[in-house]
Amino acid sequence: MSSQLVYLNGEYLPLNEARVSVLDRGFIFGDGVYEVIPAYGSKVLRFEHHMQRLQNSLDAVRIVNPLVNKQWQDIIDKLITNTDSQDQYIYLHITRGVASRDHRFPDETKPTVFVMSSVLHPVDEKLLANGVAAVTLDDIRWQYCNIKAIALLPNILLRQQAIDKGAMEAILIRDGNMTEGAASNVFIVTHGIIKTPPKDNKLLPGITRDLVVELAKTHNMPIEETAISEKEFLTADEIWLTSSTKEILPVTRINEQQVGNGKPGAVWQDMFQKYQDYKEILRG
């Protein structure tokens, strides 16, 4: 793994030789943004959508995009073809760059750009067969959860709290409504209707989320983007988590209570299959 090729500031080099300064504002302040992009059969899933979200994150934190989409595409293609595995995820990280430690933006710095590609392991069959456990926790994060910021301390504290309670994910509640997971978006099914919260500053606009919404609409499955109260959430017939690395995972236990009949639901099964079909078409 350490000999894996990565991209850092214009160079391709082995991972164990990649170095950044301790004065990098990513290290000092968590001042940067990132993307996680899955690739199936060496084909990147929704490249344009990921690039648009990256641009939105960069604009929100006032970092000028150091590369154009064609350059991002070339870097990703080179890293993908250098890795043996067919299914991979690309981690792309941009910080404001290296400067003496001062909270204000430095006058002139070059953003630090780091890209690596790792094996995307298929989700464990047992998790798909049985579903996973989740717990609800207070959403203690900031007001700009739509920015894919590298400063993830609240997210990792929340995820770890969930793990400490024997669950896989923390599902977050803010002002009485469910927002998203510590590293995932959340869907519910009630009375046959799929629901997910609308996109705003309280959650990350997940690329997987948007694809699931699109697939539901294409296949005439009833779907609503609407606020979901904690009460409605806790009594849902089905709960799903979505993310680029976990795809669509059924939650079958919430706060140690069974969700629905305690098995992955029929609507999840249907959507999961549609997502797999979408991947197969991408693979070609």
List 83, 179, 185, 196, residue binding ligand PDD (CB under 6 A): 185
Helix, strand, coil shares of the chain, percent, nearest 5, are 30, 30, 40
Examine the residue annotation and report whether 110 is marked as an active-site residue of this protein.
Answer: no
Q: According to CB under 6 A, which one of 242, 252, 260, 272 is a site residue for ligand PDD?
A: 242
In this structure, the number of other CB atoms found within 10 A of the CB of residue 215 comes to 18
Q: Which of 42, 130, 105, 109 lies closest to 79 in space, CA to CA?
A: 42
Strands 169-174 and 238-243: unpaired
Q: Are 157 and 170 in contact (CB under 8 A)?
A: no
- Shortest Cβ 36–ligand PDD spacing (Å): 4
Contact between 243 and ligand PDD by CB under 6 A: the answer reads: yes
Contact set for ligand PDD, span 18-77 (CB under 6 A): 36
Q: Which of 70, 148, 202, 279 is catalytic?
A: 148
| Candidate ranges 13-21, 24-32, 126-134, 176-184; the one touching ligand PDD (CB under 6 A) | 176-184
Pair of tokens at residue 143: 């007001």
Q: What is residue 83's three-state secondary structure?
A: coil
Size of the site for ligand PDD (CB under 6 A): 15
**Would you count residue 184 as binding ligand PDD (CB under 6 A)?**
yes
* Alpha-carbon span 106 to 103, nearest angstrom: 8
Structure tokens at 191: 């009375």
Contact characters 126-155, ligand PDD, x per CB under 6 A: -----------------------------x
Q: What is the DSSP letter of 146?
A: T
Contact status: 117 vs ligand PDD (CB under 6 A): no
Output 57 or 184, the one with its CB closest to ligand PDD: 184
Q: Which sign, positive or negative, has the C-alpha torsion 50, 52, 58, 63?
A: positive
Overall size of the chain counted in residues: 284
Residue 180 makes contact with ligand PDD by CB under 6 A:
yes
Q: Least distance (Å) from ligand PDD to the CB of residue 3?
A: 23
173 lies in the site for ligand PDD, by CB under 6 A = no
Residue 10 burial (C-beta neighbours within 10 Å; 0-12, 13-18, 19+): exposed
179 binds ligand PDD (CB under 6 A): no
Considering the complex, state which of residue 46 and residue 98 has its C-beta at the smaller distance from ligand PDD.
Answer: 46
**Residues between 191 and 230 with contacts to ligand PDD, criterion CB under 6 A:** 204, 206-209
Residues that bind ligand PDD (CB under 6 A): 36, 155, 180, 183-185, 204, 206-209, 242-245
Active site residues: 148
